[in-house]
Amino acid sequence: TSLIFCYFEHQFWKYFFLILTIGFSFLTIGFIFSGDIHGQYADLLRLFEYGGFPPKANYLFLGDYVDRGKQSLETICLLLAYKIKYPENFFLLRGNHECASINRIYGFYDECKRRFNVRLWKTFTDCFNCLPVAALIDDKILCMHGGLSPDLTNLDQIRSITRPTDVPDSGLLCDLLWSDPGRDIKGWGMNDRGVSFTYGPDRVSDFLMKNDMDLVCRAHQVVEDGYEFFADRQLVTIFSAPNYCGEFDNAGAMMSVDESLMCSFQILKPADKRSRFI
């Protein structure tokens, strides 16, 4: 494992700029989508066991790979290794925890310092600052970690985000990583997280109609069944860390999209329960 980390420390930058050139991550269809992992490495391996290890399956991860769980280093190193090995089949978006000010507090910094050194954490920070923040599937499915923004009207605004960059406290980039859907609101509302906004079903419908899209796919929130629809199935939340932090009885899920853009879900129950397909 230490040899892998050393390789990453010395070789990352040429792959950072490879990731950087992906830009808005225009992807082909036929992908498995995964939500938050949060250092739950054993569950990440289960996800690959069920969905197929790369390159037998194509993957798009929606962010939040580190923090909270006990094995953030194994988690992010495996994901980055797959990105390096299969750059055309494996994609990683940035989550709000791929940010120094957040993972400095919620576990990743301490794990790097305890097991290796602070320099390694800084290397990962450089990596996270280069990750793409959105993906567009067949011009119809828009993917990001958090959600919509009152500053977002067209996709060129996302394409114009320059990297490497830290995550600001407000604005478009912040919202793409932090915002949440709100069932009981219309328009935009305050977010209980103290960061970004919540958005009502009307904002989802309006954005999709204006941009000729069918679905927003995001992560960022624990949902009981691992996935949850919103706004008349125009938005879906995917969360892939079952039994989150050992404190929740939630399932995890991953979503598959076939050539006709039909979505299906595989549910990962906590480790002592069997997975099931729907």
Q: Which residues are catalytic?
A: 97
DSSP conformation letters of 94-145: --TTSSHHHHTTSSHHHHHHHHS-HHHHHHHHHHHTTS---EEETTTEEE-S
Q: Which tokens hold the place of 47?
A: 């996800």
Q: Estimate to the nearest angstrom the gap between the alpha carbon of 267 and the chain centroid.
A: 17
Cβ burial of 228 (10 Å; 0-12, 13-18, 19+) is middle
Instruction: Give the closest residue to 35 by CA, choosing from 259, 271, 241.
Output: 241
Instruction: Determine contact, residues 213/144, Cβ cutoff 8 Å.
Output: no
